[in-house]
C-alpha cells in the first residue's frame, strides 16, 4: 500500500530560523495520525509542506507517492484558523467547493451540513467557532480526498464543540477510508481518534509509531537511586529524575523489565508525549544506552 506521507531529510528554513530539521517519516495509508508537539516545533510547517503550500529547503517529501502540489484534489487541508469567508453563506461555500473541485460529493456535503445543524442560508461570519470548524471540515471532506490534513482544527473550540467535531471526523474516516494527519496540543482528543502518533520537538521528530505499540513499549520505573546505564540493552531512557534515594525513569523498552527492585507502571499517551517533550537524560533527549547500538 502506498504511504500517505514519506519524508527523508526534510528541512525547511526561513532565513536563519529552522522550522523543520532533518525530518524522516513514513506514515502508512489508512491511519488517523496525531501530530503533536510544543509551539514552534514544526507541525504547521510539515502540514504546509505536505499540501504543497511550501517547498522544502532541503530533503524530500512525497504525499500519496507523488510530490505535493497545491490544490491537489487528492489532498484536503483545513488550516489552523479554519478559514471560511465571512460574507458567504453556508450554501455559497458549498457551491464554490463544487465549482472548484471536480471530485466534489454534493450528497456528502449536504448530508453533513444537515447532520451538524448548519443553516444553509446563514453567513459564515455569524457562525460559532465550532460551526465554522464543521463547515471547513465538510468542504475539505466533500472533495473526497485520499488524505486529509488538519492543523489544530479544535484548538479554539469548547469541549462540547470539540467532541462534536471529532465525532464527525471519526464518522467521515470510517465512511471514506481516507488517511488523516491532525495536529493538536490536546493529547486526550488525539487519543480518542488516532491510531498513529508523531511527536515533534525543536523541529525534529522525537518518536513516531502506532499508538498501541507506543503504549505497550513505554513504562515508568520507580526504584532506589541508581545509574540508568545499568538498565541494560533494549531500553532507551526518555526522561529521568532523581532524589537522594530514588530514581524515576520513563523508558522505551523492547525487552522485559524483570528487576524486582523497580516498580513498573504503564503510561497513557499524554504521559508519553510529555516525556518526549521534556525528556533530558543528561546526554541528550532519548539517550540510547550501551548495548542498543
Share of the chain above pLDDT 90, in %: 65
Q: What is the predicted pLDDT for the residue at 232?
A: 79
Half-sphere exposure of 156 (CA within 13 A, CB side): 14
Q: What is the predicted pLDDT for the residue at 163?
A: 86
CB atoms within 10 A of CB 24: 14
Task: Determine the average pLDDT of the residues in 80-93.
Answer: 90
How far apart (Å, rounded) are the C-alpha atoms in residues 244 and 180?
Answer: 46
Higher pLDDT, 80 or 244: 244
Residue 25, C-beta contacts closer than 8 angstroms, at least 6 positions apart:
5, 6, 7, 10, 198, 205, 208
Q: Which of 74-78, 83-87, 172-176 has the lowest mean pLDDT?
A: 172-176
Residues 177-233: tens digit of each pLDDT: 899 999 988 888 888 899 999 999 988 899 999 999 999 999 999 999 999 888 878
Cβ atoms 217, 225 nearer than 8 A: no
Task: Determine the average pLDDT of the residues in 15-38.
Answer: 92
Comparing CA positions, the residue from 47, 50, 54, 55 lying closest to residue 80 is 47
Mean pLDDT of the chain: 88
Residue 286 pLDDT > 70, yes or no? no
Residue 255 pLDDT > 90, yes or no? no
Higher pLDDT, 288 or 83: 83
Q: What is the predicted pLDDT for the residue at 173?
A: 86
Q: What is the predicted pLDDT for the residue at 1?
A: 54
Residue 287 pLDDT > 80, yes or no? no
Query: What is the DSSP track for 95-132?
Result: HHHHHH-TT--HHHHHHHHHHTT--TTSBGGGS-HHHH
Residue 169 pLDDT > 90, yes or no? no
How far apart (Å, rounded) are the C-alpha atoms in residues 226 and 156?
Answer: 44
How far apart (Å, rounded) are the C-alpha atoms in residues 286 and 275?
Answer: 9
| pLDDT tier for residue 160 given thresholds of 50, 70 and 90 | confident
From the number of C-beta atoms within 10 Å of its C-beta (0-12, 13-18, 19+), residue 263 rates as: exposed
Task: Determine the average pLDDT of the residues in 164-175.
Answer: 85
Q: What is the predicted pLDDT for the residue at 285?
A: 40
pTM value is 0.86
Q: What is the predicted pLDDT for the residue at 147?
A: 95
For residue 89, the Cα-to-chain-centroid distance in whole angstroms is: 31
Rg (CA), the chain: 21
How far apart (Å, rounded) are the C-alpha atoms in residues 268 and 281?
Answer: 21
Half-sphere exposure of 111 (CA within 13 A, CB side): 10
Query: What is the DSSP track for 203-247?
Result: TEEEEEEEHHHHHHHEEEEEEE---GGGG-TTEEEEEEEE-SSEE
Residue 279 pLDDT > 70, yes or no? no
Amino acid at each position: 500500500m502506498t504511504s500517505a506521507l514519506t519524508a527523508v531529510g526534510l528541512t525547511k528554513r526561513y532565513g536563519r530560523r529552522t522550522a523543520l530539521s532533518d525530518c524522516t517519516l513514513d506514515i502508512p495509508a489508512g491511519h488517523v495520525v496525531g501530530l503533536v508537539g510544543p509551539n514552534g516545533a514544526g507541525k504547521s510547517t510539515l502540514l504546509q509542506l505536505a499540501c504543497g503550500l511550501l517547498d522544502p529547503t532541503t530533503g524530500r517529501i512525497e504525499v500519496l507517492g507523488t510530490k505535493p502540489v497545491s490544490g491537489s484534489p487528492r489532498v484536503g487541508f483545513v488550516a489552523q484558523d479554519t478559514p471560511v469567508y465571512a460574507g458567504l453563506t453556508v450554501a455559497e461555500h458549498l457551491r464554490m467547493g463544487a465549482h472548484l473541485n471536480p471530485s466534489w460529493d454534493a450528497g456528502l456535503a449536504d448530508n453533513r451540513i444537515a447532520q451538524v445543524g448548519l443553516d444553509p442560508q446563514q453567513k459564515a461570519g455569524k457562525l460559532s467557532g465550532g460551526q465554522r470548524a464543521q463547515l471547513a471540515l465538510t468542504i475539505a471532506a466533500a472533495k473526497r480526498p485520499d488524505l486529509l490534513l488538519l492543523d489544530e482544527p479544535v484548538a479554539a473550540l469548547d469541549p462540547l464543540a470539540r467532541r462534536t467535531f471529532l465525532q464527525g471526523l471519526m464518522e467521515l474516516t470510517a465512511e471514506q477510508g481516507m488517511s488523516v494527519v491532525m495536529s493538536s496540543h490536546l493529547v486526550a482528543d488525539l487519543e480518542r481518534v488516532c491510531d498513529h502518533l508523531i511527536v515533534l520537538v525543536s523541529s525534529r521528530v522525537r518518536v513516531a509509531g502506532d499508538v498501541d505499540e507506543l503504549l505497550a513499549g513505554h513504562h515508568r520505573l520507580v526504584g532506589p537511586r541508581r545509574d540508568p546505564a545499568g538498565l541494560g540493552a533494549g531500553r532507551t531512557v526518555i526522561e529521568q529524575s532523581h532524589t537522594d534515594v530514588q530514581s524515576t525513569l520513563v523508558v522505551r523498552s523492547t525487552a522485559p523489565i524483570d528487576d524486582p527492585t523497580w516498580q513498573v507502571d504503564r503510561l497513557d499517551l499524554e504521559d508519553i508525549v510529555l516525556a518526549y517533550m521534556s525528556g533530558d537524560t543528561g546526554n541528550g533527549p532519548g539517550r540510547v544506552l550501551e548495548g542498543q547500538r
